[in-house]
Amino acid sequence: MRVSREAAAHSATDNGSSATTESDDPPISWPAPADAAGRAGGQAGWDAAGGCQRGDDPAEPLTESEAEAQAHGICFKTGPPRRVGVELEWLVCEGRDPAQPVDQHRVTAALSPLTAPRGLPGGGKLTTEPGGQVELSSAPAAGLGRCIEVTGLDLAALRQAVQPAGLCLTGHGLDPLRPPRRVLDQPRYAAMETFFDRAGPWGRLMMCSTASVQVCLDAGDEGPGWAGFRWRWRLLHAIGPVLVAAFANSPLHGGRPTGWKSSRQAIWARLDPTRTLAPAHAEPSPGGRPARAWPPATDPRSAWVEYALAAQVMCVRRGAAPDWSAPAGLTFRDWLRGAGERPPTRADLSYHLSTLFPPVRPRGHLEFRSLDAQPGDGWIVPLAVTTALLDDPVAAQQAMAASEQVWFGGARGWQRGSPWWRAARRGPADPGIAAASRRCFEAAEAALARSGAPAAIQQAVSAFAGRYVDRGRCPADDQLDTAPSTPHLEEWQ
């Protein structure tokens, strides 16, 4: 479960808690491109941190038109794509017995030196998720190699900090052994739990038991080509299921197979669709309309505004009050139109935007958030492949052509048989997704070679392709090879 550092800061002020380690979606602090200030899209004068126009009072009541302008102005900040970032979530386990719950006080004590200002050598930030997962958010870097270098420094420091405490960081998309247990007791998390509990146990699993690799990239420029934000937005959605399948790494829950290669994605499929599906026209058309046909059917900024305001409100901040739960079914547009106990403010909208979890989230930059956590240093490969496919003009075209085939004639969203469903359920055992995956990896490997990426990065991608992609396997299959051959859990079907 993720909420922005800005939103966490608001809540910390309201309830007196510290947001340094008890926040749950620390976005990479991504400054607006220096050469894109004041460009199209309404971003001129917008504060990227809070989504409020400079000089505006974040506590001032918001009109519907002001809310639309605020959301429209901050979703895509355009300029030449240059920067790369990554957010790595880790399950924290007992070193001797990963099935045992962890005392959160031990984790806090171990991490405290690293959560201080400039506590990490690479300039990243550490935060704690509701279930005790640790998230490392890198500083935005000028290129893939530099991003991996600074993130590696931070991750080494993190591992060195937890090891003396008898703890270890585990890279699984879903905790394979332990039930969900919320360790952060704050009003926003209680409200989120209440919100998701209306639809079953899946929200608690997502909040407390899942972990991911999230790749962050510049939105792109205003042009129609491969470097434009419209193309990059569409491409990330097109390749999303292909990469979900390639890096699926969450086949177990309670020590038993769930029947899914990415159970984490199966959990997302069961959550509130008003905040987890992609906005309108972001995904390739199942009818076969190619992405090369420009302009796109819907402007991504306008589509994002409609999506954001139609999403249900997850929680209503009430200062020091313990109950932040929102009325069931209340959308943010409803709230703007007078439903609710008080008018919403600019800060409420900023908070609301941080509680939306589509496969790709526009935060000025693009946040690709659909990949399972990977073991060890396996996070380097999805970061490298995603970056290569978006930032190389030849690879971008090849990846779009390969991935669009996966979408033609299929179901949409999280429906049974859709690309997302097939990727999560079958992984690369799905023939169409496997073929697209091989083509995407070939394009990424060639792009990394053209860019002069460090040899270690190229070797890591080639080794992953040889071990998994070329053999129709994914990391989940390694776990299933040694898992007990018990029936699939009924609740996962």
pLDDT of residue 37: 27
pLDDT of residue 488: 64
Query: If you average pLDDT over residues 13-17, what whole number do you get?
Result: 34
The strand pairing partners of 221, in sequence order, are: 228
In 210-328, alpha helices (H): 229-246, 263-269, 273-276, 300-310
Percent of the chain residues past pLDDT 70, beyond the cut = 85
pLDDT of residue 29: 61
pLDDT above 90 (res 412): no
pLDDT of residue 489: 64
Who's near 77: CB < 8 A, 6+ residues apart? 30, 32, 33, 36, 41, 43, 48, 219, 364, 365
pLDDT above 90 (res 337): yes
Residues 423, 443: Cα–Cα separation, whole Å? 20
Name which of 253-257, 282-286, 310-314, 363-367 the model is least confident about. Answer: 282-286
Residues 25, 41: Cα–Cα separation, whole Å? 25
Angle between helices 144-162 and 455-467 (to 10 degrees): 80
pLDDT of residue 485: 76
pLDDT above 70 (res 89): yes
pLDDT of residue 49: 38
User: Residues 299, 282: contact at Cβ < 8 Å?
Assistant: no
pLDDT band at 155 (very low <50, low <70, confident <90, very high): very high
pLDDT above 60 (res 453): yes
Q: In the predicted model, what is the mean pLDDT of the chain?
A: 87
Q: Burial code of 142-177, b = ≥16 C-beta within 10 A, e = fewer?
A: eebbbbbebbbbbbebbeebbeebebbbbbbbbbbb
pLDDT band at 415 (very low <50, low <70, confident <90, very high): confident
pLDDT tens across 262-296, in order?
999 999 999 999 999 999 999 987 655 554 544 45
In 219-360, alpha helices (H): 229-246, 263-269, 273-276, 300-310, 332-336, 346-353
Name which of 75-79, 94-98, 166-170, 481-485 the model is least confident about. Answer: 481-485
pLDDT tens across 341-389, in order?
999 999 999 999 999 999 999 999 999 999 999 999 999 999 999 999 9
User: Residues 110, 165: contact at Cβ < 8 Å?
Assistant: yes
Which residue has better confidence, 486 or 354? 354
pLDDT of residue 53: 45
pLDDT of residue 491: 74
pLDDT band at 484 (very low <50, low <70, confident <90, very high): confident
Query: What does the DSSP 8-state code read for residue 138?
Result: P
pLDDT band at 7 (very low <50, low <70, confident <90, very high): very low
Residues 46, 25: Cα–Cα separation, whole Å? 21
Query: If you average pLDDT over residues 143-155, what whole number do you get?
Result: 98
pLDDT of residue 60: 86
Among residues 144, 141, 110, which one has the least CA distance to residue 126? 110
pLDDT of residue 51: 44
Residues 75, 73: Cα–Cα separation, whole Å? 6
Which 3 state secondary structure label does DSSP give 457? helix
pLDDT tens across 194-247, in order?
999 998 999 999 999 999 999 999 999 999 899 999 999 999 999 999 999 999
Name which of 4-13, 287-296, 446-455, 480-489 the model is least confident about. Answer: 4-13
